[in-house]
Amino acid sequence: MDFKTRVVGRGGVFAPLESVDYFGQVNVDPEAGTIMRPNEVDFYPDVSYSLVTGHRIRSLELV
């Protein structure tokens, strides 16, 4: 999955992620089970799944 269009040029917390070496420094957050970078920026797993598979993200219905 190519994150370039979601990272490059956005600045702020995304600026360090423009470096391929920095982007590759991943860990799994033990509480959330998501992939985290050293600056704690993560990409929601449901969004990543949707981008890879093409399946839409179901919206939550508020009751």
Residue 31 resides in a domain: yes
DSSP lists the bridge partners of residue 36 as 27, 42
Confidence tier at 47 by pLDDT (50, 70, 90) = confident
Give a yes or no: residue 59 inside a domain.
Answer: no
The Cα–Cα gap between 47 and 10 comes to 18
Q: How many domains does the chain have?
A: 1
6-37 pLDDT per residue, tens: 889 999 988 998 998 998 888 888 887 888 88
Can you give the pTM of this predicted structure? 0.63
Could you tell me if residue 58 is inside a domain? no
Q: Count Cβ neighbours within 10 Å for each residue of 16-36 and write b for 16 or more, e otherwise.
A: ebeeeeeeeeeeeeeeeeeeb
Instruction: State which residues form the domain around 28.
Output: 4-53
**Rounded Cα gap, residues 14 and 39, in angstroms:** 9
Q: Compute the average pLDDT of residues 31-49.
A: 81
Q: What is the DSSP letter of 19?
A: S
The residue type found at 10 is R
Domain assignment present for 63: no
